[in-house]
Structure 1
Amino acid sequence: MITRGANAEADSIAARHDTPKHTPSWLRRALPDTGPQRALVMSSFVNRIGTGMFLATSALYFTVIVGIPARQVGTGLSIAGLAALLGSVPAGTLADRVGPRTVQLVTLAVQTVTMALFVVVHSWWAFTVVAALDYVADAANNAARGALIGRIGGERPGLFRAKLRTFVSVGVVAGTLLAAVAIQIGTRGAYVTVILVNAVSYVVCALLLLRVPNFGALPKPAGTRRFAALADRPYAAFAALNGLINLQAVVVTLVIPLWIASRTQIPHWAAAAVFGLNFLVGTALMQPVGRRIKTTEQGGKAMRVAGLAIAVGCAVLAGSNSGPRWSETLVLFVGAAVLCAAGVWVTAAGFSLSFELAPAHAQGQYQGVTLLGLDAAGAVGPALLTALVLGLGAPGWVVLGLGFAAAGLMGPAVTRWAERTRPTVVSVGDAAPEPA
């Protein structure tokens, strides 16, 4: 079990940034508790606005404006995704040694350059190289950010990460809405403006990140291996299981829209409505669910609840391609709502367990392993899930649900196995940060 002590300098910073007492209670619960936490929230929020703008326009930019065939764009992104698998664990290890903020600042500088280079990309090979560099930098940034969250998250970094998730989700939606303006204009200049604004967002993100303390390395126990996280079989089992259950997001964002378009009479606007439903459910439930998961035992049980709930949602969706259009639509939204709610439990459990099961001195490296599990599942999951559901139809949904239920039922056992092999007590907050 991991406990986190108080850091004197961090406490003094927090004391100067407490939420005013006249702030409404619901807003006090939603806002992070300390100045460094709020600085990281603002930094991530700005970054995700730019990310939302780019993600919403990138496919159209590279295919319509640059002229790269859609299939080649997909191939290039697949190569970039495979390259990103190599970045998370080494970057997390480096963050543990030189400080997570330093690694984040370097990766943000790299992403600023790669984003600007997209403006001058005119061939498939150049696109693939730049995308691979960008994906590797993004994976490294996420690993370092996980380590930083572990250092400033207080007694419950998983809860802080849940709060952070709420705000960055709002940022992505805001960016997507702004991107709609560029898509409506449809000119090269409009798309280039979106890309350059995203590049600038990395710079602003880095400047805001300077307000977060520059934590130094924590001492390693004697005999610790360099890449101990990769040899930690119980944690690797958790990371793999977490990656599998998080494929719920692929079901919501990819499988359901394809199911609507190819297997049902449901109007296509329902796909966009499912996206909106997923955002609303996640925003409303993420923090309340995150507060309920306080121990590793609760985290394992939450994975079990999530797996069974996803199975129920899949069973409901199996009935969304029979009957009149109105009943198909109603059944689809009921099943999608169950999946969206289950996704909140999946995410909250993963956040809590990824910190609680990781030793304090190697938070970055272990966060890298968690990301490796997510990315590996994300690399192979979309093709398998779509082939299963679209190929088999309603029986495919049932098989998919049984797979998620089996994964969820393994949650408590894997969690107990990992917890038995953890150090008894590890202190995180004793290393004073260097001056920011």
Structure 2
Amino acid sequence: MGDSGPERVLIAASFVNRVGNGLFNAAAALYFTLIVGLPAAQVGGALTIAGVVGLCAGVPGGHFADRRGARTIMMVALVVQAVSMAALVLVESWTMLTVVATVDQIAAAVGGAAWGALVARVGRDRPARFRAKLRTFVNLGVVLGTVGAGLALAAGTRGAYVALILGNAASFALCGALLLLLPRYPVLPAPPQERRLLAFRDRPYLVFTVLYGAMGLQYPVVSLLLPIWIAEHTEAPRWTVAALFAVNSAFCVLLQTRIGSRIETPHDGGRAFRTAGLLFLVSCPLMALAGYTPVWAAAALVLAAVFVHSLGEVWESSAGYALGFGLAPEHAQGQYQGLLGLGFSAGQALAPAILTTVVLGLGATGWLLLALCFAALGAAGPSVARWGLRTRPQPAVAVEATS
């Protein structure tokens, strides 16, 4: 756990919340299609509308958290999510699903930005080490929640699905209650005459947001693209799909603190981003090669590729923390984290279409193009870090930029 009381509180709150997310996310689509009886196209449409509307709320919500207090805004968002999540058990129509899911996604975007600002305040002494530990427990929470969801899915009853949804709602409420144990951090004053929504005019940060969102394509590679590739293009046994999730989760949990705690400054983050791109440059061709080898060789290649990819994921997430927090002004962490979340969420929304049409459509060539794309994105990391450091107004950061 964390080294201080506030760190331990925020880690515990995040862990509880992500256990709930793991319970719900693995079963949400099946609940609305199999139990409620809505057509899959309607479910997808409702969640897409909710997601798009939610994207627009992150930066304004983050700015509100900067000016009104991150803890307060995050607690309000968690209460709204607890209520909206519980309301999902009452959904019987597409319209109701769209309304409830939209409210939930708006609260999630606002809460995510406020969470980023709160992380910045709680982990100020040793930010890299704290954020690495935080991500370790977040990953572990998702894994445990997913295991619980698997048990409910095996039961397949309405009661089991409702238990998952209400469990997620309870996790939001418990997370909010735990935040009461945090100090009430004073709002940091903004410089005189500073315009609102400063993040949208910060060109280095905007460029990094685009890079970070594009590099985020690496997450659906393991959760979406590789399982389809294994099933349709390799001789690897089907249990390999389950094994790759276990390997990915285990290595991210085990290695996040060890690697992430060393990546503290934006300069470190730029180099880590480049390292991540190089690791993905190795992992993607290994995944492609599995489609052209005998059965056990294919299984071995897939597991080796996931191991390398997991290393890249740890380096990439650590780089995101170092640059995402390090380049943001302390008084505007909320809106900057909201912008970063906007870029990441937009990338995740586009990822399924890009990966399934371009990569799967081109086969091995698609995998190689994806690898080169990741490497090119990573190669830009050090330059963006230097650019960002040169344009920061803080004297301490300016010294680092010129050293």
Question: TM-score normalised to the size of structure 1?
Answer: 0.88
2:354 to 384, 402, 406: 384
SS of match in other structure, 1:364: helix
Match of 1:113 in 2: 83
CA offsets per residue over residues 320-377 of structure 1, 9 Å max, x none?
1113111111112222211111010000010111111011110111111111110111
2:329 paired with 1:359: yes
Structure-to-structure mapping, 1:266-285, within 5 angstroms? 266-285=236-255
Code of the aligned partner of 1:408: G
**Alignment partners' CA distance in 2, 1:312 and 1:424:** 38
Code of the aligned partner of 1:320: A
Cα gap change, 1:394 to 1:82, in 2 (>3 Å)? same
**Alignment partners' CA distance in 2, 1:297 and 1:180:** 41
Match of 2:401 in 1: none
Say if 1:300 and 1:413, in contact at 8 Å, map to a contact too. Answer: yes
Structure-to-structure mapping, 1:184-203, within 5 angstroms? 184-203=154-173
SS of match in other structure, 1:292: coil
Code of the aligned partner of 1:289: I
| Displacement after TM superposition at 1:248 (Å) | 1.0
Say if 1:263 and 1:390, in contact at 8 Å, map to a contact too. Answer: no
1:372 to 342, 363, 371: 342
Unaligned ranges ≥5, structure 2: 398-403
What is the percentage of aligned positions where both structures have the same residue? 49
Say if 1:388 and 1:400, in contact at 8 Å, map to a contact too. Answer: no
SS of match in other structure, 1:199: helix
Code of the aligned partner of 1:176: T
CA offsets per residue over residues 70-114 of structure 1, 9 Å max, x none?
222222222221111111101110110010001011101110111
Say if 2:89 and 2:165, in contact at 8 Å, map to a contact too. Answer: yes
Match of 1:424 in 2: 394
Q: What is the root-mean-square deviation of aligned Cα atoms in Å?
A: 1.4
Match of 2:400 in 1: none
| Displacement after TM superposition at 1:426 (Å) | 7.4
Code of the aligned partner of 1:313: S
SS of match in other structure, 2:26: helix
Code of the aligned partner of 1:236: L
**Alignment partners' CA distance in 1, 2:33 and 2:233:** 27
Code of the aligned partner of 2:266: T
Structure-to-structure mapping, 1:118-129, within 5 angstroms? 118-129=88-99
**Alignment partners' CA distance in 2, 1:78 and 1:263:** 29
2:61 paired with 1:84: no
**Alignment partners' CA distance in 1, 2:370 and 2:247:** 21
Say if 1:163 and 1:287, in contact at 8 Å, map to a contact too. Answer: yes
1:45 to 8, 15, 22: 15
1:142 to 112, 125, 129: 112
Match of 2:285 in 1: 315
Say if 1:360 and 1:426, in contact at 8 Å, map to a contact too. Answer: no
Structure-to-structure mapping, 1:161-180, within 5 angstroms? 161-180=131-150
Bigger relative CO (Cα 8 Å, ≥ 6 apart): 1
CA offsets per residue over residues 189-231 of structure 1, 9 Å max, x none?
2211221122122111111110011212111112311011111
**Alignment partners' CA distance in 2, 1:253 and 1:34:** 34
Match of 2:272 in 1: 302
Unaligned ranges ≥5, structure 1: 1-30, 428-436
CA offsets per residue over residues 25-54 of structure 1, 9 Å max, x none?
xxxxxx211101111111111111111111
1:56 to 19, 26, 34: 26
1:394 to 359, 364, 368: 364
User: How many pairs are equivalent?
Assistant: 397
Say if 2:130 and 2:261, in contact at 8 Å, map to a contact too. Answer: no
Match of 1:433 in 2: none
**Alignment partners' CA distance in 1, 2:234 and 2:175:** 43
Match of 1:152 in 2: 122
**Alignment partners' CA distance in 2, 1:320 and 1:86:** 40
**Alignment partners' CA distance in 2, 1:294 and 1:395:** 36
**Alignment partners' CA distance in 1, 2:56 and 2:171:** 25
Code of the aligned partner of 2:338: G
Say if 1:246 and 1:347, in contact at 8 Å, map to a contact too. Answer: no
| Displacement after TM superposition at 1:382 (Å) | 2.0
**Alignment partners' CA distance in 2, 1:215 and 1:266:** 53
Code of the aligned partner of 1:399: L
Say if 1:98 and 1:216, in contact at 8 Å, map to a contact too. Answer: no
| Displacement after TM superposition at 1:158 (Å) | 3.5
SS of match in other structure, 2:289: coil
**Alignment partners' CA distance in 2, 1:91 and 1:144:** 7
Question: TM-score normalised to the size of structure 2?
Answer: 0.96
2:2 paired with 1:32: yes
Match of 2:299 in 1: 329
| Displacement after TM superposition at 1:183 (Å) | 1.7
2:380 paired with 1:410: yes
**Alignment partners' CA distance in 1, 2:95 and 2:232:** 33
Match of 1:254 in 2: 224
| Displacement after TM superposition at 1:184 (Å) | 2.2
